[in-house]
Structure 1
Amino acid sequence: MPSNPPSARRRARAIAVSARAQAEARARFALWSGVLLALTLLAALLLAPATARAQMFEPETFTLDNGLQVVVVPNHRVPVVTHMVWYKVGAADEPPGKSGIAHLLEHLMFKGTETIPPGEFSKIIARNGGRDNAFTSSDFTGYYQNIARDRLDLVMEMEADRMANLRLAEDDVLTERSVVIEERLSRTENEPAALLGERLDQALWVVHPYKNPVIGWAHELAALDRADALAFYDRFYAPNNAVVVVAGDVTAEALRPIAERTYGRVPAAPETPARARVRDLPPAADVTVTMDHPQVGQASWWRRIVAPSRNAGDTALYPALQVLAELLGGGPVSRLYERLVVEDEVAVSARTYYDGRAVDYGTFTLSATPAAGRTPTDVQAAVEAEIARLLAEGVTDAEVAGAKRRLKASVVYARDSVFGAARIIGAALATGSTVDDVERWPEDIAAVTPEDVMAAARAVFGGASSATAILLPETTS
């Protein structure tokens, strides 16, 4: 099978993979496993009490000479580890007209190197008793393995190898591109809610690259080729644009020699890639997108609002926005649920979600499903009335304390899960935070006051850009 000759840079970065790696076999696991769990754990972690800071993750960190940051989260309950490599690049960093290339490259990273045949990466992991996967978002791309501690050297050798020596045949790219096109057909174009979600993001972000779906627009995805993949790989996949997080039965002292003889042999890129994004948003506007579809059995309603994040806008509001989301629509004792579902029976579900872990702006999302005999218009009016009541009457000390207490309850799961710890820390570092920020989150949340929550509410409900989506069953005339 033909393959691309390595460039001078790739040749210099070549790494030999252990011979034992080449004897192993098993198919790669599904693309998105574990992502939803990680998001739940992230929300939980942010709300631990201030007194728990020394007991959160207590990570150890060091940086190799080539710029690679390595974070270790010791957890010696069982002799297993989660090993993750995070690249600081996602769909929002793609060149214009090349949407989907970040996600396609994620697939192609399993196609092999000079020492690992195409398709063998995951088989090797599986034969050694582990499992692996990968994921792409707008802001980062990650690869992970869950495996026994005594196989950690192996996975670090393999990940360092494909960081430096990915080899792609034209047929490999075309085949995997067809797989991704089929994925788009099944997960987006045949799913009404996903289709409407794409249109919602277009309406909200307008010119910002967050408007593009991670999987790519169909016509641009179909035109991607080997040259596009290699150009993206050469630009962004380098140790000084990556973070390695290892959680489990290991210490920084034990890990550092392994990291130096694997990742440490990969030369740094000449310069860390800049994330050249359009950060200025257009003037605030409210847009409504409505779609009916024959596959829809029950109507639904969403509103997504541009919000400050950890890195953009009024960043001081970041912890208060998390508390606001829980208080307003975080569960069965939240304001929206009690009013819309329990008291007025206008909806069968109502919730809010704040996503502030982003390189650029975040989003504050409200959603509800109308009850029988009710419409999305009824739901929207009820949500808006409850928001108006919150802005007029404010929140109480008891409400704020309750929101913190409810979210704090699940923090223990984040501490106990090696995967959850690695995922939380990796996502934070890949979007511009530091290890100290991660450890300080509980203190930041504990300091949130009712006044802070109201400032957050005014920021998102006081005129920020929003987009509303209404999904309806198809009507016949």
Structure 2
Amino acid sequence: MRPLTRLFPVLALVLLATLPARATTPQHFTLDNGLELVVIEDRRAPVVTQMIWYRVGAADEAPGQSGIAHYLEHLLFKATDTMEQGEFSATVEAQGGRDNAFTSWDYTAYHQRVASDRLELMMQMEADRMVNLRLDRSDWLPERAVILEERGQVLESRPDAVFNEQMRAALFQNHRYGVPIIGWRHEMEQLDDVIAESFYRTHYAPNNAVLIIAGDVDAAQALELAQRHYGPIPANPDLPPRARPQEPPQHAERRLTLRDARVGQPYVSRLYLAPSRQAGDQREAAAFQVLAGLLGGSAQTSVLERRLTYDEGVSLSAWAGYMGTAVDHGVFSLGIMPAPGVDMQEAEDALDRALADFIENGVDMEQLERVRMMLRAAVIYEQDNATSRARTIGADLATGLTLEDSQSWIDILQDITPDEILAAARQLDRRASVTGWLMGEE
């Protein structure tokens, strides 16, 4: 039987050979009012996805108004000048489609997936709510109760979610990335239609948006429809710059412990400040992405899993991650879940030794090749889904990258050298980190 490690180059060639022939290069346009349009043609099924990304998120909220970006996301499904409350989603459903929305620290996005011959109707409705939201006709107060209930259900009822919220709040001393996207409860309770209306009028404008059309559509047709429905909407000449409070130099690591009787399995988590992807210069961020793949990755490629779980037996699981698609700061994470009989300090010490030894011993080239193959395979599989491509490109453009940056990301990942990876690992500074222990009650 051939060793598994020798199959990876063959598998990579197979993946490359099976890249969908009809996956086309995205085309980029800019309307006169500043709206960016990206069209991804994919004719394999008669469906199309429309995604509109606004370059505004939780990190752009005014102090004391946390949660307003997410709250407004909910309110955009209310009434407009031409549609009754709830009519938007009801119309999408009546056409056999699906719609939803999501909010991040850096953007808010709305999307629909419908039969391709319904695209114009989706554009008409989305353009309408870009400019014609009518909160005076909407039942906004019960919706505030909905987001408060959502906070209770998806965050406050889960000790791991509360733990993660506290970790980010400790990591970011000044930046709004330390404020939860859903908001702090006491500030959410003060949100109203006046605050929402002001946020909407300020940030929801074509010159602050990226429109992605992906699927069974011709680029010229999509451009013509976008000009017809979005083109007449005037740009906001008073669109403010993204003037966010930045992080000062951090000189002391932070530590926290959260105890909760509901915790079944304790674990150690550490977050570091890290660079984010930068337009025209993504190599440093790419080095952190590959580093996370080497340290975390899968059971076959993970340095931490192989050493701490299989060799030393001190962990049930160990992991690493990197979130670098952000306007201002990336976050690199490490973690370990101790095996029975191993206390938290022993587990944390073992994690630190594994990282130090990795930096000391260097990158194993065979493992690096596996990680490169897995990263490339993930991108190739993504090409097989027009909605996934739309989501990736939309997030990139909404955080300040260009279409060229988005398209070249995988090639940069493949080109990162062992020296660059080790340089990234050495940048993980405990003075710019927070380490947390999530535990049950004593």
TM-score clears 0.5: yes
Instruction: Please give the alpha-carbon distance, in whole angstroms, between the structure 1 residues aligned to 2:378 and 2:410.
Output: 13
Alignment-mate amino acid for residue 66 of structure 1: N
Instruction: Please give the alpha-carbon distance, in whole angstroms, between the structure 1 residues aligned to 2:43 and 2:207.
Output: 29
Q: 1:376 aligns with which of 344, 369, 381?
A: 344
8 Å Cα contact 1:57/1:415 also seen in 2: no
SS of the counterpart of 1:231?
Answer: helix
Q: After alignment, is 373-382 or 297-306 more displaced?
A: 373-382
Offset from partner CA, 1:306-346 (integer Å, 9 cap, x none): 0011139x953111111110001111021000011111111
Offset from partner CA, 1:100-159 (integer Å, 9 cap, x none): 000000000000211110111101000001000000000100000011000000000000
8 Å Cα contact 2:275/2:331 also seen in 1: yes
Instruction: Please give the alpha-carbon distance, in whole angstroms, between the structure 2 residues aligned to 1:79 and 1:285.
Output: 56
SS of the counterpart of 1:246?
Answer: strand
SS of the counterpart of 2:231?
Answer: helix
Where in structure 2 are there 5+ consecutive unaligned residues?
1-14
Residue equivalent to 1:351: 319
1:399: Cα distance to partner?
Answer: 2.7
Residue equivalent to 2:333: 365
Residue equivalent to 1:149: 116
SS of the counterpart of 1:107?
Answer: helix
Q: 1:208 aligns with which of 175, 178, 183?
A: 175
Structure 1 residue runs of 4 or more that deviate by more than 6 Å after TM superposition: none
Offset from partner CA, 1:360-413 (integer Å, 9 cap, x none): 010001122111222222221111000110111111332322211122223232
Q: 1:224 aligns with which of 176, 191, 197?
A: 191
1:55: Cα distance to partner?
Answer: 8.9
Alignment-mate amino acid for residue 270 of structure 2: R
2:379 aligned with 1:411: yes
Q: After alignment, is 129-138 or 302-311 more displaced?
A: 302-311
2:251 aligned with 1:284: yes
**Match runs of 1:214-363 below 5 Å:** 214-311=181-278, 316-333=283-300, 334-363=302-331
Instruction: Please give the alpha-carbon distance, in whole angstroms, between the structure 2 residues aligned to 1:394 and 1:57.
Output: 39
1:57: Cα distance to partner?
Answer: 5.1
1:171: Cα distance to partner?
Answer: 6.3
Q: After alignment, is 301-310 or 375-384 more displaced?
A: 375-384
Alignment-mate amino acid for residue 346 of structure 2: D
SS of the counterpart of 1:407?
Answer: helix
8 Å Cα contact 2:23/2:384 also seen in 1: no
Q: 2:435 aligns with which of 468, 471, 474?
A: 468
Q: 2:132 aligns with which of 165, 170, 175?
A: 165
Residue equivalent to 2:31: 64
8 Å Cα contact 2:283/2:412 also seen in 1: no
Instruction: Please give the alpha-carbon distance, in whole angstroms, between the structure 2 residues aligned to 1:447 and 1:57.
Output: 23
8 Å Cα contact 1:81/1:247 also seen in 2: yes
Residue equivalent to 2:406: 438
SS of the counterpart of 1:387?
Answer: helix
- TM-score scaled by structure 1? 0.86
Instruction: Please give the alpha-carbon distance, in whole angstroms, between the structure 1 residues aligned to 2:299 and 2:323.
Output: 20
**Match runs of 1:379-390 below 5 Å:** 379-390=347-358
Residue equivalent to 1:400: 368
Where in structure 1 are there 5+ consecutive unaligned residues?
1-47
Instruction: Please give the alpha-carbon distance, in whole angstroms, between the structure 1 residues aligned to 2:130 and 2:33.
Output: 13
The count of corresponding residues between Structure 1 and Structure 2 is 424
Residue equivalent to 1:27: none
1:464: Cα distance to partner?
Answer: 5.1
Alignment-mate amino acid for residue 142 of structure 1: A
8 Å Cα contact 1:299/1:375 also seen in 2: no
SS of the counterpart of 1:265?
Answer: coil
Seq. identity, %? 46
Residues 282/219 of structure 1: CA separation in 2 closer, same or farther (3 Å cut): farther
Instruction: Please give the alpha-carbon distance, in whole angstroms, between the structure 1 residues aligned to 2:395 and 2:137.
Output: 32
8 Å Cα contact 2:78/2:138 also seen in 1: no
Instruction: Please give the alpha-carbon distance, in whole angstroms, between the structure 1 residues aligned to 2:238 and 2:402.
Output: 20
8 Å Cα contact 1:400/1:449 also seen in 2: no
Q: Which has the higher contact order (CA 8 A, sep 6+)?
A: 1
Residues 160/212 of structure 1: CA separation in 2 closer, same or farther (3 Å cut): same
SS of the counterpart of 1:169?
Answer: helix
Alignment-mate amino acid for residue 290 of structure 1: T
Instruction: Please give the alpha-carbon distance, in whole angstroms, between the structure 1 residues aligned to 2:267 and 2:410.
Output: 34
Residues 464/399 of structure 1: CA separation in 2 closer, same or farther (3 Å cut): farther
**Match runs of 1:65-84 below 5 Å:** 65-84=32-51
2:91 aligned with 1:138: no
- Over aligned residues, Cα RMSD in angstroms? 1.9
Alignment-mate amino acid for residue 92 of structure 1: A
SS of the counterpart of 1:285?
Answer: coil
Residue equivalent to 1:18: none
Instruction: Please give the alpha-carbon distance, in whole angstroms, between the structure 1 residues aligned to 2:137 and 2:121.
Output: 28
8 Å Cα contact 1:208/1:278 also seen in 2: yes
Residues 79/191 of structure 1: CA separation in 2 closer, same or farther (3 Å cut): same
Residues 201/150 of structure 1: CA separation in 2 closer, same or farther (3 Å cut): same
SS of the counterpart of 1:409?
Answer: helix
1:441: Cα distance to partner?
Answer: 1.1
SS of the counterpart of 1:378?
Answer: helix
8 Å Cα contact 1:75/1:249 also seen in 2: yes
SS of the counterpart of 1:264?
Answer: coil
1:285: Cα distance to partner?
Answer: 2.3
- TM-score scaled by structure 2? 0.92
1:170: Cα distance to partner?
Answer: 7.7
Residues 57/429 of structure 1: CA separation in 2 closer, same or farther (3 Å cut): farther
Instruction: Please give the alpha-carbon distance, in whole angstroms, between the structure 2 residues aligned to 1:289 and 1:437.
Output: 37
